[in-house]
Structure 1
Amino acid sequence: MTHPDTPASSLPVHWAGELLQLLPERALWWPAGHVLFVADLHLGKAATYRALGQPVPGGTTQENLARLDALIARLAPQRLVFLGDFLHAAQARTVLATVADWRARHAGIAMTLVRGNHDSRAGDPPASLGIEVVDEPHLLGPFACCHHPQPHATHFVLAGHLHPACMLYGPGRDRVRLPCFVSEAGQAVLPAFGEFTGGWLMQAAPGRRFHAVGGAAVWALPASD
C-alpha cells in the first residue's frame, strides 16, 4: 500500500520490516517514522571547483536546497537525516549563508548529519544551524544510518558514499546510465542527492537489487540471479 503522502512515481520497498518509499528525487522516505533520508548533497562543490579556477557554472547549491524544499513541502517530515557529505570541502563553507537561510525556513524540523569522508575535510556545520552531527553508525529505529556501506550486527544499514549508477541497454547499441538505489542483504545504498556529483557504475552481484531513477519515476530492475 502506498502512503497517502507519497507520489505515485515513488517505489515502495520493505526493508527491516518497514515500508519505505524510494523517491525519484533520489531520496528515501520512511512514512512511519516521518523521516526523510538523503545522501551526498556535496553542497558547495561547484563553488569549490570555481575557487580552484575551474570554469564551473553556479547555482547548484540553490537547486539542491530547492529540491529539498519541495520534498519537505510535500512530505512534512519531522526529521531529515543526511547520510554523509553535507558540504563538499572547506572551500564550500562560502555557501553557508545560503544554507543558514534555508535552515531558518525549516527550523521546526530536526536534522541529523552522519559524518562522511568529505565532512571530515569540510568540518562540521556551524552549531547555529541546529544540525545534530554524529558518527556512523547512528541507530534510528531498525536502521543504522551510515555514510559508508558496511555490515551491522543488529540493524539494517542505510548508506551513501558510492553515488551508485546502473546501465540500461536497449535495441542495437542504445544504452543509458541512470542513478539508482541498490539493496542487498542487510543494507541499501542511496543515490547521490546533490547535483554535479557524478556516479559509480555498480556491477550485478548475487542478491543485489537495483532500483533505477529516471525522470519522475523509480522502478525495480529485473534480478540478475
Structure 2
Amino acid sequence: MTSAPTPHLDHVLPDGRPLTLLPERAAYLADAGLLLVADVHLGKAASFRRLGVPVPAGTTEANLARLDDLLARWPVRHLAVLGDLLHAATGRAPATMAAIQAWRERHAHLPITLVRGNHDDHAGDPPPAFDIEVVDEPHTCAGLALCHDPKTRASGFALAGHIHPVTRIGHGLDSVRLPCFHASATVLVLPAFGEFTGGQVIRRLSGDQLYGTTGERVYRL
C-alpha cells in the first residue's frame, strides 16, 4: 500500500536545504524552525469599510486563526513576516488591534520579525506592546536574505513577497487562478498570506518553478 501524498512540497534551496512550501500560503525552514509568511495585510477590510466599501468583516481573525493552526502543527521557533503585516493606518481600528494583541499574548514567547514593506511604511510600525522586531530589507536570517520586494538587491538567495503571485490554470471561462510560490535562480516569492488580497498573474520564465496551492495541497506546476 502506498502512503497518501503529503499536502506540502519541498523546494530545494541553492545551498541544498529543503524549504517546505505549505498549502496555507506559508513556508517553513526546518533547520531554523523558521515559519515565513508575506503580505498578511491585517486591517485591510476595516480600512475599506472606513472608506464606505462594503466588504466582509472577520478577515483579521481568520488570518490569525490560520497562523494559530500553523504554529500548532509545526515546531516553529521564529516567525518572519516578509512585509505588509498591517495594511494601512486607517485599518488600525480598535477591534483589529485588540485581536492582534490577544493573538500576540497567546504566543508571547515566540520571536517575530517583520521586514518592512511598502504598506508598513504607511501603516506605521506595530505598537511596542506587540513585541515584534522590525527591520529593513534585506535582512539576513538563517542564511537567507529576507525581503519584501523581490527586486531588492541582496547578496545570496532571497525570500520575498509584495507581488501576491498567482497562476492561471486552464483557458477562458474554464480557467481558475491559484495563489502560487514563484522561484527563480535568485529569489522565491511567497503568495500573499492574507485572506483579503488580490494577485498578480506570473509569467514563468525559463528555469523558473511555480508551485500552486489550493489551500489544501501544494502542486508543482
Matches within 5 A, 1:68-87: 68-87=67-86
The alignment partner of 1:195 has SS state of coil
In structure 2, the partner of 1:54 is 53
Corresponding residue number in structure 1 for 2:9 = 11
Consecutive unaligned residues in structure 1, runs of 5 or more: 1-6
What is the aligned partner in structure 2 of residue 129 from structure 1?
130
User: TM-score scaled by structure 1?
Assistant: 0.92
Give the conservation status (yes or no) of the 8 Å contact 2:37–2:193.
yes
Equivalence map 1:1-225=2 (5 Å) = 8-17=6-15, 18-94=17-93, 95-150=96-151, 152=153, 154-169=155-170, 174-221=174-221
Q: Give, in whole Å, the separation in 1 of the partners of 2:200 and 2:37.
A: 17
Q: CA RMSD in A?
A: 1.4
Matching residue of 1:3: none
Between the aligned partners of 1:143 and 1:150, the Cα distance in structure 2 is 15
Deviation per residue, 1:48-67 (Å, 9 max, x gap)? 00001111110000000000
- 1:7-41 deviations in Å (ceiling 9; x for gaps): 92000111132111000000000011000000000
- Unmatched runs of 5 consecutive residues or more in structure 2: none
Please tell me the residue identity of whatever aligns with 1:75: W
Residue type of the alignment partner of 1:55: P
Letter in 2 for 1:165: V
* Structure 1 pair 151–114 and aligned structure 2 pair: CA distance change class (3 A): closer
Contact map agreement 1:27 1:190 (CA 8 A) in 2:
yes
Shift of 1:154: 3.1
Q: Distance in 2 between matches of 1:128 and 1:215?
A: 32
Contact 1:39–1:191 at 8 Å: present in 2 too? Answer: yes
Cα distance between partner residues in 1 of 2:7 and 2:219 = 9
CA distance in 1, matches of 2:126, 2:173: 46
Q: Deviations over 1:173-193 (max 9, x none)?
A: 521110000000111000000
SS in 2 for 1:32: helix
Q: Whole-Å Cα distance in 2 between the matches of residues 142 and 16 of structure 1?
A: 11
SS of corresponding position for 1:54: coil
Instruction: Give aligned pairs, total.
Output: 214
- In 2, Cα distance between equivalents of 1:196 and 1:50: 13
User: How many angstroms does 1:151 deviate by?
Assistant: 5.7
What is the distance in 2 between the residues matched to 1:204 and 1:14?
18
Contact 1:39 / 1:82 at 8 angstroms: preserved in 2?
A: yes
Partner Cα distance (2:67, 2:155) in 1: 30
Q: CA deviation at 1:198?
A: 0.9
Superposed displacement of residue 153, structure 1: 5.3
With the length of structure 2 as denominator, give the TM-score of the two structures: 0.93
| C-alpha distance in structure 2 between counterparts of 1:84 and 1:57, whole Å | 23
| Kept in 1: contact 2:138–2:154 (CA 8 A) | no
Query: Which sits farther off after the overlay, 76-85 or 147-156?
Result: 147-156
| 2: CA distance, partners of 1:133 / 1:151 | 17
| Secondary structure of 2:92's aligned partner | helix
